[in-house]
Amino acid sequence: MRFAPLALVLALAAGDAAAAPPIEAAFGNTVVSTFPDGKSQHIWFDEDGGYTASGRRGQRSSGRWSLRADEICLRQLRPFPAPILYCTPVPKDAATVAWTSKALDGQPVRLKLVRGRFGP
């Protein structure tokens, strides 16, 4: 289980500063998380609260996402249920800029929303 914040990834369209970051811009697109070693993880968010991912080592995972204030939170369900909820902040302008966050293991990752669904 290797999450990049993604992730988090998401928020992705400008919105009310007091509201949770909207993620509509991520639907139908790909969040690419690039690690210091140059390897990337791809995450795809669905409108129904699900996500699928392809890790930097090619492993597939999936689970549920939710929003909490200015963070996106991921709970992995497959290939095994993760015992933690991973949350990370997402900038309000994430739909148009790349940003740096931290992976689950604490290492920095560079995140970017890319148009279209693609990946390994």
> Is the CATH number of domain 6-114 2.40.128?
yes
Cα–Cα distances in angstroms (integers) from residue 58 to residues 1, 6, 7, 43, in the given order: 11, 17, 17, 12
Look at the pTM and tell me if it is higher than 0.85. no
- Summarised one tens digit per residue, pLDDT across range 65-113 is 999 888 899 999 999 999 999 898 888 887 888 889 998 889 999 999 9
- Summarised one tens digit per residue, pLDDT across range 7-37 is 344 333 333 334 445 678 888 899 999 999 9
pLDDT of residue 14: 32
DSSP secondary structure code for residue 5 in this structure = B
- Summarised one tens digit per residue, pLDDT across range 34-60 is 999 999 999 999 999 999 999 999 999
Asked whether 94 and 71 are in contact (CB, 8 A), the reply is no
